[in-house]
Amino acid sequence: MRPEHLEPDNTYIVTIEGRPSTRTVLSIRPSYLTETKEMENEPAAPAYFTFAVTILQAVPVVVAAPPGFKSPDIPVVHWKKDQRKNVGRCYTEY
């Protein structure tokens, strides 16, 4: 599935199937300007810093949180049925 020109170690393909569907290719490199493949004096892959460090930075927040489950803070969604069929009924011809 991965295109030939993408590097297997530093490329992630995220596909979300839905209406509409989307696919994103995330290519992680030390530098795009210099086309460097590895970070100097660093044995870890560039993707490590992108993902693992983000997870590690969340540890203090998780430890400080009260026990239990937290539901996502999302606003109440207001929706209205599709009104395109009703628009024609609103206007009368004279």
Q: Residue 25 is encoded by which pair of tokens? A: 């290719």
Distances in Å between the Cα of 39 and the Cα atoms of 46, 53, 69, 82, 87 are 7, 16, 39, 52, 60
Question: Would you list the domain boundaries of the chain?
Answer: 1-67
Torsion sign over Cα 85, 87, 88, 89: positive
Q: Residue 62 is encoded by which pair of tokens? A: 């998780």
Which pTM value belongs to this model?
0.42
- DSSP 8-state secondary structure symbol assigned to residue 76: P
Give the tens place of pLDDT for each residue, 4-46.
Answer: 666 666 778 889 898 899 988 888 888 778 877 777 887 777 7
- 20 cis-preceded (ω within 30 degrees of 0): yes
The predicted pLDDT at position 10 comes to 75
